[in-house]
Structure 1
Amino acid sequence: MTNSSSASMSLLQWALLLLLSVLWGGSFFFNGVALQQIPVITVVFSRVFLAAIALLIILKIRGISFPTDKDLLFAFIIMGLLNNLIPFCLIVSGQTMISSGLASVLNATTPLFTALVAHFFSREEAERLGPRRISGIMFGIAGVAILLGPTIGTVGFTGDQVIGQIAVLIATLCYGFGVVYTRRVSKSGLPPIVTAAGQLCASSIMMLPIMLVMDQPWAFATELSLHVYVALAGLALLSTALAYILYFHLISSAGATNASLVTLVIPVSAILMGYLFLSEEVTVQMILGMIVIGLGLLIIDGRLLKKNTQKSPV
């Protein structure tokens, strides 16, 4: 039975959250390879389009019908806008004005915005903000800032830098609304794979004209290397199709705020993968950041605090 009514997550849900962080952490590697030869908008479109095709094939094989209800189709459009189109464009634009490290720290505020949106727009008691949840999220954001400290650079307050920071923050706010809205859609009983396919199809349709006008992919499509195609496949199948199935399952079973905690863990996964597979250095500062993030997650989970409270006299 799922734990949708509780603010704490089960061990299985935590395991799925960690797996999701690995899948989304790996997207940075796939993006880096693909962007060597493909413009940004084409990479994003290829990611959502190929993932949508893969999920539609799986639905066909499993004999699951794609919904044709007008309300659900409209919901997929809203989800595509809030979870993909608007935040992707804002983050990409923001990263042209601020450092990637600062963008990552600002992106880690997603659980905070999600918690605020869920508090005011969700009727579920488990989504209500409390001191413990706020404290845990703030610890997590602080941990990400420590973790990425050397890459953040100087936080500037010139016109372009402020605009870039605001763009990324608006993107995280979109994610907050997106995850809460997706939580409502999931209550219709749709399997996570159907929800994921619907959102990705809507995102693909909306992004197609943008990609054709801005990037004109026919100009470079015949000159791509094999490793770029492999990177696109990994980005679409692992970091998008499979990742969204897990994400929507977590939203449905663990709640909006809990599912959004993945943005705190992604930097940890990215650094550990760099250490394990690329022989990248792990510093004392990185370890400290990971510890602070872990402390924040433990505070949010609440079980250790409950055990201590139970042992203490009232």
Structure 2
Amino acid sequence: MAGAIGPQEVKQLKGMSAGVWALVLTLSVVWGGSFFFVEIAVTELPPLTIVLLRVGLAAITLHLVLRLAGQGLPSTPAVWGAFFGMGLLNNAIPFSLLVWGQTHIASGLAAILNATTPLFGVIVAGALLADERATWSKVAGVVVGFAGAVVMIGFGALEGLGSDLVAQLACLGAALSYAFAGAFGRRFRRLGITPLQTATGQVTASSLLLLPMALVFEQPWTLPLPSLETGLAVIALAVLATAFAYILYFRILAVAGATNLLLVTFLVPVTAILLGSLVLGERLSTEHFAGMMLIALGLAAIDGRPLRWIAERRGRADRP
């Protein structure tokens, strides 16, 4: 079968190359802005309308890119069934839950709850994917990385924990849906679908899923025209944090696996805080450096190569 996972691909899943880490870092920067853009958009637009605009504009953008690249979308029922499954798990459900959650809780707390995605990812991938079984180093790395995300964002963001329980459960539900999407998305490589085709098909399917819901429940044509600031935030959310982001997403998923892909959520607060320091002149605190250190340790444990290098060094030292 085209694109089947062979021994070489399985070997690559155990440790990511520098190029893949660069893609992960880029994706974390792009997705880091999504919480900010949503925070602006929810002041004037209802949740389903925001999500529909996000995936709809992203679909238009990606269809243009697909045409410029000289590619088309497959028309087989099996592929479109996979597109709709991915659109539901990776867009329609989590986007709606996160946007609705952010209408009730602060973006910082939403980001912390979203950082549970790799924990769910290790569990789901370990249960469903034969070549991504959960290991103690992966679990420990996820726990340490999550602790680092909490430290970086700040314990103050946890002050509202428990007060808006349904909204917080919605954000956790989004993280769980992302985890299932990471495992589900591995099938596109086996189907021989390129990352660009997968990204385009996914947002197209999710747009079709969300359109009737937004029309029935929110009637967006009755809403007042949003401000320029909100309009620009929605465009950035669609073009950068969705269209461009999902091209990177499916490329990483194809070469590095579901568990490694979900590490992006740990790096989102790191890149957001570093960008704030470099671009806006914000000062880095001790908590920021401590959080970065914990996240680095967690990523090292999940990646596995630093631990294997230490073990090999010790083995050599113990030899006579």
The alignment's TM-score, normalised by the length of structure 1, stands at 0.91
Deviation at 1:3?
A: 4.9
1:308 maps to what in 2? 310
Deviation at 1:146?
A: 0.8
1:123 maps to what in 2? 130
Deviation at 1:153?
A: 3.2
Contact 2:42 2:103 (C-alpha < 8 Å) held by counterparts: no
- Cα distance between partner residues in 1 of 2:305 and 2:130: 23
- Cα 1:153–1:304, aligned 2, differ >3 Å: closer, same or farther? closer
Contact 1:31 1:231 (C-alpha < 8 Å) held by counterparts: yes
2:185 is aligned with 1:182: yes
Contact 2:79 2:191 (C-alpha < 8 Å) held by counterparts: no
Deviation at 1:4?
A: 4.8
**Residues 231-242 of structure 1 correspond to what in structure 2 (within 5 A)?**
231-242=233-244
- Cα distance between partner residues in 2 of 1:89 and 1:37: 16
Deviations 1:63-111 (A, max 9, x none): 2121111011111111111111112222233345544333322211111
2:112 is aligned with 1:105: yes
2:16 is aligned with 1:9: yes
2:77 is aligned with 1:70: yes
**Residues 192-271 of structure 1 correspond to what in structure 2 (within 5 A)?**
192-220=195-223, 223-271=225-273
Root-mean-square deviation (CA, aligned residues, Å) is 2.1
- Cα 1:142–1:28, aligned 2, differ >3 Å: closer, same or farther? same
Deviation at 1:36?
A: 4.0
1:79 maps to what in 2? 86
SS at match of 1:37: coil
Contact 2:42 2:99 (C-alpha < 8 Å) held by counterparts: no
**Residues 150-165 of structure 1 correspond to what in structure 2 (within 5 A)?**
150-154=155-159, 156-157=161-162, 160-161=164-165, 163-165=166-168
The count of aligned residue pairs is 309
- Cα distance between partner residues in 1 of 2:134 and 2:62: 35
- Cα distance between partner residues in 2 of 1:136 and 1:170: 22
- Cα distance between partner residues in 2 of 1:150 and 1:211: 35
- Cα 1:109–1:121, aligned 2, differ >3 Å: closer, same or farther? same
Which of 137, 141, 153 pairs up with 1:136?
Answer: 141
Q: In structure 2, give the amino acid aligned to 1:141.
A: F
Deviations 1:247-288 (A, max 9, x none): 011011000000010011111112222223333343211221
Deviations 1:16-65 (A, max 9, x none): 00000001012223333433433332222111111111111122222212
- Cα distance between partner residues in 2 of 1:238 and 1:294: 26
- Cα 1:68–1:151, aligned 2, differ >3 Å: closer, same or farther? farther
Which 10-residue stretch deviates more, 169-178 or 254-263? 169-178
Deviation at 1:134?
A: 1.0
SS at match of 2:172: helix
SS at match of 1:129: coil
The alignment's TM-score, normalised by the length of structure 2, stands at 0.89
Which 10-residue stretch deviates more, 35-44 or 248-257? 35-44
Deviation at 1:7?
A: 1.5
Contact 1:24 1:243 (C-alpha < 8 Å) held by counterparts: yes
- Cα 1:155–1:224, aligned 2, differ >3 Å: closer, same or farther? closer
Gaps of 5+ in 2: 1-5
Deviation at 1:139?
A: 0.7
Contact 1:18 1:265 (C-alpha < 8 Å) held by counterparts: yes
SS at match of 1:312: helix
Deviation at 1:164?
A: 3.1
1:173 maps to what in 2? 176
Deviation at 1:149?
A: 2.3
Which 10-residue stretch deviates more, 44-53 or 281-290? 281-290
- Cα 1:156–1:310, aligned 2, differ >3 Å: closer, same or farther? closer
Q: Percent identity?
A: 44
Gaps of 5+ in 1: none
Q: In structure 2, give the amino acid aligned to 1:31.
A: V
- Cα distance between partner residues in 2 of 1:212 and 1:151: 38
Which 10-residue stretch deviates more, 239-248 or 271-280? 271-280
Deviation at 1:289?
A: 0.8
